Copies of this chain bind each other. A is one copy, B any other.
């Protein structure tokens, strides 16, 4: 790609949008400038543009994103057929298991939820479509990493912030790589309270008819309800069944 085929004003604007998050729902020009590292004048122009287009509100002091911004993310969700195809299978799976079931894809070091059928809330965080979790300590993340060539998985782990969310969290890259081999061999990933105390989950890959992974599928359950050791026994058959059914549908 040539230098001139890159619209830096666009790229800068996207950076500005991403500057907003749960800890910073409202930003002044100076704050946004600090977060993005862009010049105050540049950030101001981007924010005023967002505001002019209705993607942001401006009260003269702070900027805040409006729901119109959701159109951008939704452009992906509605454009990719995967969530729509998977959802009914997820509903049935969740219903039969009596637990929450989800599907996700990998984006960098994180998994992104693309569909979910939830039962009673068990996690402290609220997971919906678009939610992200670090791949290294989530069951679906392990499944995705295991599906990659080992050097790519290692590279992603190297870029990840490997922190111990609980005393059970595996954070050593070599341990994790060994665990990924296990996942690859057994065809599923089991997480025992590595993300959050009290939460276990089990995941399998969803492959298309050419054997390529297109998503990961999981069931999560409270550890108080189902011991980690029982997870595979109880839910693996259901997951495998759903996996097989979807394999025939995914192209």
Q: Is A75 in contact with B121, judged by CB distance below 8 angstroms? A: no
List of B residues within 8 angstroms of A213 by Cβ: none
Q: Is A95 in contact with B70, judged by CB distance below 8 angstroms? A: no
List of B residues within 8 angstroms of A25 by Cβ: 79-81
List of B residues within 8 angstroms of A6 by Cβ: 45, 48-49, 52
Question: Whole-angstrom distance between the alpha carbons of A50 and B10 in the complex?
Answer: 9
List of B residues within 8 angstroms of A68 by Cβ: 107-108
Q: Is A20 in contact with B108, judged by CB distance below 8 angstroms? A: no
Question: Whole-angstrom distance between the alpha carbons of A49 and B1 in the complex?
Answer: 9
Contact of A75 among B17, B45, B54, B76 (CB under 8 A): B17
Q: Is A49 in contact with B108, judged by CB distance below 8 angstroms? A: no
Shortest CB-to-CB span from A143 to chain B, Å, is 16
Residue picked from A18, A44, A67, A131, most chain B C-beta under 10 Å:
A67
Question: Whole-angstrom distance between the alpha carbons of A48 and B120 in the complex?
Answer: 43
Shortest CB-to-CB span from A38 to chain B, Å, is 12
Q: Is B10 in contact with A78, judged by CB distance below 8 angstroms? A: no
Contact of A1 among B52, B81, B114 (CB under 8 A): B52
Shortest CB-to-CB span from A134 to chain B, Å, is 15
Shortest CB-to-CB span from A41 to chain B, Å, is 9
Q: Is B130 in contact with A73, judged by CB distance below 8 angstroms? A: yes
Q: Is A132 in contact with B74, judged by CB distance below 8 angstroms? A: yes
Q: Per-residue CB proximity of A56-96 to B under 8 Å, as 1/0? A: 00000000111111111111111111011001100100010
Contact of A7 among B9, B72, B74 (CB under 8 A): B9
Q: Is A130 in contact with B20, judged by CB distance below 8 angstroms? A: no
Shortest CB-to-CB span from A54 to chain B, Å, is 8
Give 30 A-B contacts (CB < 8 Å), ordered by A residue: A4-B45, A6-B49, A7-B9, A7-B49, A13-B14, A14-B72, A18-B72, A20-B75, A21-B79, A22-B78, A24-B79, A25-B79, A25-B80, A65-B79, A68-B107, A68-B108, A69-B73, A70-B107, A72-B72, A73-B74, A73-B130, A74-B130, A77-B128, A83-B128, A115-B128, A116-B128, A117-B118, A118-B118, A129-B129, A129-B130
